A and B are shown apart, each in its own frame.
Chain A
Amino acid sequence: MRRISIVFRREFSGYFATPLAAIFLVVFLFLASMFAFNIGGFFDRGQADLRPFFQFHPWLYLFLVPAISMRLWAEERRTGTIELIATLPLTMQDLVLGKFFAAWAFSGLALLLTVPMWWTVSFLGEPDHGVIVCSYLASWLTAGAFLAIGSAISSLTKNQVVAFVLCAATCFLLLLSGFSVVLDFFRSWAPNMVVEGLSAIGVLTHFDSMVRGVIDLRDVLYFASVIVAFLVINTAVIDWRKAA
């Protein structure tokens, strides 16, 4: 635990050593509110809820999360610092978890800064606060799943651009596979099992049900297993080709 927290602290403060943190937070807040107000019709709906705000988060994460995750390991490889940290008395799990939690906490911070949206709806009407808490959790879990995927992909390359593109593409596929258009396309010819499977691995299926305010253990388990699976892959990749 202590070893993980040492890695965590270095990584987390690392975001603020460069303009990256500020740029990310500003862009996230700007886009999240722009989507909610302009496209989501936050005011026109005449409802005191945050659905129009949250429903775009997975799409925002699609390109914002790879921007955080691309450097996690690719940067260590490029600068050679991987040789330094891999020969410290830290295990690969310490490094993978410390880095992941730092990135996840950072995305959590970005979410936390959107709390004024919550105040706004509370001021304008009487929103269901349980649904909003649930939506925040859904959004944060989605970011976590994407970050775990991005971290694993970043460990495969020393080129950050490659890491960005591959992560965005993988997350996009994961988003698409829960989309009704895509499911319908498969439904016409693929066996039912495949369609069900695709819908089950799709992020949107689980995200939507949580944003509606239902905390189903299966949805939480879904996000947790995506995170764990990709972090295990991440650890294996780093262990296997440290020097590559």
Chain B
Amino acid sequence: MATLIEAKDLRKRFGTIHAVDGVSLNVSAGEVLGFLGPNGAGKSTTMRMLTGFLEADSGSVQLAGIALDVDPLEARRRMGYLPEGAPAYPDMKVRDFLMFIAQARGFLGAEARRRVDEAVDRIHLQQVLGQSIETLSKGFKRRVGLAQAILHDPPVLILDEPTDGLDPNQKHEVRNLISEMGASQGKAIVLSTHILEEVEAVCTRAVIINKGKVVVDEAPQTLISRAPEGSGGSAMDVVFRSVTSGDLEEAGQ
């Protein structure tokens, strides 16, 4: 499988805090990587460096074979990004906003409309197309963010908390969409989340980051199997706590 995201030894310091301290990630086509970690562990900072929004102090990123620092525009063309909080222009109508993104991505006229219609169809935004973004519920706002990230059908997707604020039905739908984009469309997807079941449900790989360092990188099933027997609660919770709080010694194997 082709490696679509290749991050080498990313580091970022804010003042004296090492927000990201040597993170390396390789994500292949078809992989859905769940990015986990406590608040402030460096998830968003890492994702911002993967998309080029933040410049890393050191390290390098390649997206679909293009080095981010060599040809940033070409690298960005191959990537869809849902930033934290799904920011969008509050005064704009959903349709106008998506058209703006489509045009900024280089689609013209009828092609731009087709791309927008397609994304709207996949994410079920028809009923809010004429609404301005500030009037949308949190769930719809998030889905608009998701629509703008996928409308150009990029090989690489970076999604910062894509299901945050969605109701259970919407969560289910978005998870299905993500699994499908990974498994059958062969995209490389990185998504961050606080919901551990989500990792079990959609991810083919779980990466836990703590204090700017990768502490776990394995299949979700392997991760679960590391929980000691009879530890109570969800197995994933137990492992997550043990590797991020240091309360427990390395769990399992």
Contact = CB atoms under 8 A, between A and B. Distances in A.
Among B87, B90, B92, the most chain A Cβ lie within 10 Å of the Cβ of B87
Given A80-B83, A87-B81, A243-B54, A6 B91 contact: no
Given A6-B103, A84-B83, A89 B77 contact: yes
A72 B249 CA distance: 51
A242 interface: yes
Interface string A88-107: 11110000000000000000
A80 B85 CA distance: 8
Contacts of B74: 89
Interface residues of A, number: 22
A84 B175 CA distance: 22
Contacts of B81: 84, 87
A14 interface: yes
A137 B83 CA distance: 42
Interface in B57-94: 73-74, 76-77, 79, 81, 83-85, 87-92
A80 B84 contact: yes
Interface residues of B, number: 29
A79 interface: yes
A81 B88 contact: yes
B183 to A, nearest CB: 25
Interface in A4-50: 6-7, 10, 13-14, 17-18
A3 interface: yes
B48 A89 contact: no
Nearest to B108: A2
A80 B100 contact: no
Contact of A6 (B51, B73, B83, B104): B104
B76 A87 contact: yes
B53 A242 contact: yes
A109 to B, nearest CB: 18
Contacts of A7: 104
B48 A83 contact: yes
B105 A89 contact: yes
B223 to A, nearest CB: 30
Interface of B: 48, 51-54, 73-74, 76-77, 79, 81, 83-85, 87-92, 96, 100-101, 103-106, 132, 148
Interface of A: 3, 6-7, 10, 13-14, 17-18, 79-81, 83-91, 242-243
20 contacts: A3-B104, A6-B104, A10-B92, A10-B100, A13-B96, A17-B92, A17-B132, A80-B85, A80-B87, A83-B53, A83-B83, A87-B52, A87-B79, A88-B104, A89-B73, A89-B74, A89-B104, A242-B54, A243-B48, A243-B53
